[in-house]
Structure 1
Amino acid sequence: MTDLPGIILAGGRATRMGGGDKGLREIAGERLLDRVIARLAPQCAPVAINANGDPARFAEFGLPVLSDSLPDHPGPLAGVLAGLDWAESLGAEAIVTVAADTPFFPSDLAARLRAAAGPSGLALAASPDAEGRLRQHPTFGLWPVALRDDLRAALDGGLRKIVLWTDRHGAGTAEFASDPFDPFFNVNTPEDIETAERLIA
């Protein structure tokens, strides 16, 4: 039996960043992916990257690169499905996913997601926004391998919005504090890189 595999979702097109792989952008002298791997590896094993295109650009990380099994980049759920298919081949029962552009996610993410899992085994992370409203972060989740065929059917049927599917399966919510800043802050723009560097400093 494998431990809890971790999947880094790096399949986005980074349009607000001018294209390319956001995970390869540097923040304070270190690539985003290096920071994400360093946070995820103590929590999950093994770790893989979900990305499309030539996997060789990630070769130096030494991790498996999983491409979407569905065409036309249908979004993060396709990356989740690729991770679930990989985990099934390992004999694992679930995976944890994180986004490649979020360098400060909690160091107890996996444990808290497991503790919050709903009846189906699903859980999503959430944190309060500036107004105190709880906001889900659907790319940070615990996903049971047992639901992979259901997810594949939903994607084949045109579903793209993560929470529509997770709500259907009664996902639990793992709540994280946003003090002193939201740990799910993600880097979408060049200005966000400056913000992240200030947070690191």
Structure 2
Amino acid sequence: MKKASGCCVQCSHGRCPTAYHPTCAQAAGVLMQPDEWPFVVHVTCCRHKAAMHELTVGQKVICKHKNGRYYQCDVVQLSKETFYEVNFDDGSFSDNLFPEDIVVDCAQLGPPPQGEVVQVRWTDGLVYGAKFVAAHVIQMYLVEFEDGSQLTAKRDDVYSLDEELPKRVKSRLVRREIIQESKRQRVINSRYRGDYIEPVIYRAIME
């Protein structure tokens, strides 16, 4: 039966928009595990369960360009980045803070103990109170686009060519075949080839 209501749970990997009804997720074999506040439950959608293998240097992938469109590009470098996770006093949280976003010198002292009260310098320049949750070491990928520009992204933001793309990515994907088609040289129909005049000759006649 089609119902107009029902709670959905969203995939916990990055900003993945995939969401399921809990009973549908169980029937589909989606991984669901208890998690700590504020997550309550950790969900791994089918895409991240089946296709989240590590990428290698030289591999062709799909990633978001700075212009907001998705293009095919190449992985040119692998690196590790440390991100801090905190729970803010207002109930919100962030899991992608840099160590330098914490007011204390974490570069020298290391990450704070779990549950310790910290001060976080946010992007608006203000300082907010929070509790430290954990430090996560994430694999990062430096990709290079055809225009020579480069971008560093997490695995959740990079798609291999054999992965299923979300609808939001498909709608913004610029395919190489389309670009090549727009640059293909026009060919004169053989039926009218005898009537065709080269542009240089045409300009000379007109002059």
Q: TM-score, normalised by structure 2?
A: 0.27
More helix as a share of residues:
1
Task: Please report the TM-score for the alignment, with normalisation by the length of structure 1.
Answer: 0.28
Higher gyration radius (CA): 2
- Tell me which protein shows more strand as a share of its residues: 2
